[in-house]
C-alpha cells in the first residue's frame, strides 16, 4: 500500500529539522506499518501549506498534531484537526492532508488486533485530553523497531485506553453533490464571512429557497445556517491557534460583535474560544 511519503504531492517541502526533544528516527510512514508493538508513533514536521496526496495505510492511524492545524480530506468530507482534537483514520482508508500553519505531527499507528473494542470503522473525531497528548508525545520517543517493554509498554497501553470519542462530528464538513449546492458551498468556503442569506443565494443559483433548504438537509445532513456556522468555525480555528485576537477573527467572519461570534463558537464546539484552546496553552481573550 502506498505511504504518505511515497504518494504525497507536496507544494512545499516538509521541515527537515526534528523536534528538539526527540531523537533522530524514521519519518517514513511505511516503517510504522511494520513496527512490532501494539502502536508506534510517527513524529514529523510539516511547513505551512505542505500537502500529502491521497494515500492509505495498512494500519489504523490517529492523526494528531501538537502544533498547527491539519486539513484532512476523506472522499467528499473535509475534517479540520486542531491540537485539541485528533482524527481516527481506520486502516486502508484513502485520505489526503494539508498543513495550515507549521505542523508538528505526532501520529500513532495501531497494529491490527490491538484496537480496543468500540473503535469505529469510519473516520471519527477524538478528544485529546492533556494526558492523551503527553502519552502520544512520550510514545513518539520509543524506537520504532523495538517491542515496547516495561514503562514503554505501559505508555502504549495507557495511550490506547485514553482515547475519547467526541460525540457528533463538530470538525466534519460534509459536501453536497448537486451543482447548485457545490456553487454555494464553494463560494462560502472561499469567503466564510459572506453575509448573504439563503434567499440571496437562491436567486444567484437559479433555485428556490425551499429547494436549496431541502438540498442542504438531504445532501449534507445540515441546515444552511448550521453548515455555514461549521465553515466559520473551521476557518476560525487556525486563526485562533495562530494567536489572532477573538475580536479580529470575529470581524473577519462578518460578526457584528465578538460576543456573537463567541456564542456561535460555543454552540458548535461546546466551548468558548479560550476554553477550547486551553489544552494547547493558547492565550486567547474571550469577549466579556
Dihedral class, residue 92 (left if φ above 0, else alpha if ψ from -120 to 50, else beta): left
**Residues 49, 12 contacting (CB under 8 angstroms):** yes
Domains, the chain, ranges and CATH? 4-165 (2.60.120.10), 175-280 (1.10.10.60)
Over residues 177-194, the pLDDT tens digits come to 788 888 888 888 888 899
Over residues 198-255, the pLDDT tens digits come to 999 998 888 899 999 999 888 887 889 988 988 898 888 878 877 889 999 999 999 9
Q: Which residue has the higher pLDDT, 166 or 90?
A: 90
- Cβ neighbors of 37 (< 8 A, separation 6 or more) are 111, 142, 146, 147, 148, 152, 153, 156
The pLDDT assigned to 7 comes to 39
| C-alpha cell of residue 263 | 456564542
**Residues 99, 23 contacting (CB under 8 angstroms):** no
3-state class of 95 per DSSP? strand
In the beta sheet, which residues pair with residue 86? 126
**Residues 50, 83 contacting (CB under 8 angstroms):** no
Over residues 68-86, the pLDDT tens digits come to 888 898 887 878 788 878 9
Helices H / strands E in the chain, number of each: 11, 10
**Residues 43, 27 contacting (CB under 8 angstroms):** yes
Can you tell me the distance from the alpha carbon of 123 to that of 132, in angstroms, rounded to the nearest whole number?
19
| Whole-structure pTM value | 0.67
| C-alpha cell of residue 34 | 511494520
What percentage of the chain carries pLDDT values higher than 90? 42
3-state class of 103 per DSSP? strand
pLDDT confidence bin for 175, thresholds 50/70/90: low
Can you tell me the distance from the alpha carbon of 235 to that of 131, in angstroms, rounded to the nearest whole number?
27
Amino acid at each position: 500500500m502506498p505511504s504518505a511519503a511515497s504518494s504525497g504531492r507536496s507544494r512545499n517541502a516538509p521541515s527537515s529539522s526534528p523536534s528538539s526533544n526527540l531523537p533522530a528516527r524514521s519519518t517514513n510512514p511505511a516503517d510504522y506499518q511494520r513496527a512490532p508493538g501494539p502502536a508506534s508513533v510517527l513524529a514529523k514536521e510539516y511547513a505551512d501549506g505542505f500537502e500529502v496526496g491521497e494515500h492509505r495505510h495498512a494500519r489504523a492511524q490517529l492523526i494528531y498534531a501538537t502544533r498547527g492545524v491539519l486539513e484532512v480530506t476523506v472522499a467528499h468530507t473535509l475534517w479540520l484537526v486542531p491540537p485539541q482534537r485528533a482524527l481516527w483514520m481506520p486502516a486502508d482508508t484513502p485520505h489526503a492532508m494539508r498543513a495550515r500553519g507549521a505542523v508538528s505531527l505526532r501520529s500513532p499507528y495501531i497494529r491490527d488486533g490491538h484496537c480496543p473494542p468500540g473503535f469505529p470503522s469510519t473516520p471519527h473525531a477524538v478528544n485529546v485530553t492533556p494526558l492523551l497528548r503527553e502519552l502520544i508525545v512520550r510514545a513518539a520517543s520509543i524506537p520504532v523497531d523495538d517491542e515496547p517493554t516495561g514503562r514503554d509498554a505501559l505508555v502504549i497501553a495507557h495511550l490506547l485506553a485514553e482515547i475519547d470519542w467526541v460525540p457528533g462530528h463538530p470538525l466534519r464538513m460534509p459536501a453536497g453533490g448537486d451543482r447548485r449546492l457545490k456553487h454555494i458551498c464553494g463560494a462560502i468556503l472561499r469567503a466564510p464571512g459572506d453575509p448573504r442569506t439563503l434567499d440571496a443565494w437562491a436567486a444567484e443559483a437559479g433555485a428556490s429557497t425551499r429547494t436549496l433548504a431541502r438540498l442542504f438537509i438531504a445532501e449534507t445532513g445540515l441546515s444552511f445556517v448550521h453548515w455555514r456556522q461549521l465553515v466559520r468555525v473551521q476557518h476560525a480555528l487556525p486563526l485562533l491557534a495562530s494567536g489572532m485576537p477573538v475580536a479580529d477573527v470575529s470581524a473577519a467572519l462578518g460578526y457584528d460583535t465578538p460576543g456573537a461570534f463567541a456564542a456561535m463558537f460555543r454552540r458548535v464546539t461546546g466551548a468558548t474560544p479560550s476554553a477550547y484552546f486551553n489544552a494547547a496553552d493558547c492565550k486567547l481573550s474571550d469577549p466579556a
